[in-house]
Structure 1
C-alpha cells in the first residue's frame, strides 16, 4: 500500500511540473521603451484646508487704568481655508510658486469678571462677554526641491516667505 501511494505521489509531482513548464511563453515579450521627458512650464494650483486655531491667550485693554489684563476665558474657533496660486516648474527637481489663501470666519468668545466696588452698603461685581470674529488673507512666495517620484508620491522640501 505504501508503495502504491508513493508511486501515485511521484506521478502527481511529475505531471504538475510538466503543466508548469507549459505556462511559459515560447519567446520573451519585449517591454516598451521608456522615454524620460524634462517637465517644465507654468502650472496652477489650488488648496483647500482646515485651520486648527490655537489661541495661547488673549488680553484686553482697560482704558481707565492703562493696563492690559488677561481674559478669564477665551476661545477662537477653527475655520476652513481655501487658496490658489500660479507656479513655474524650472526642471524635474525645482519648482516655485506664489499663493494667495483665505482663512474663513473664525469666531472669538471671551469673558471677564471684575472685583467689586463699594457703593455704600452694596458690593457691585461686573462681568462681560466679548464676541468677535477673524478672517485672514495670506500671500506667500515659495520654492520647492522635489526628492524624486516614487509611484504617485513625490516628497519635497520647501521654503517660503510671506505675510498674513
Structure 2
C-alpha cells in the first residue's frame, strides 16, 4: 500500500507545508537525504501551546507531537514535488518538549509522533530519535520536532 493511501485510510490529510517563521528554509536536500527544519505543534485553530509538567498532560503533549509529525510529512511531500511515496525511510527525529525542570516523561510525549509515523508508514516509519526538555519553545508551543529522512 502506498503511503498516500495509508494516510487517507487513517483519515489524515497532509496540510500545505508550513512556511518558515524566520530566516531559514523548511528543508534541505543533500543527495537522497532530506533534512526538515523543526515543525511546531500547530493545528487548524493555531498553535498548540502548553508546558508539560505544569498545564499540559502527557496525552495532550503526545497529540501535539503527532501534529508535528504530520507537518514533517507535509514538508517531505513538498520536498518530493508532491509525491509522499518518494519517502524511503524516516531516519531520525530530534524532539523538543516544552516542560518543567522536574518533568521526565519527554519520551512518552514524543511517542505521539513516533507511534503515528510507524502506524502510517510501517517499517519505513521506524527511526532513531532524541527527546529532550526545553525550558520554552517558540510561541509557547508544547512540542517542536525536526527530522532526517531518506528519499528517492
TM-score, with length taken from structure 1: 0.24
Rg comparison, structure with higher value: 1
TM-score, with length taken from structure 2: 0.25
Whose helix fraction is larger, Structure 1's or Structure 2's?
A: 2
Whose strand fraction is larger, Structure 1's or Structure 2's?
A: 1
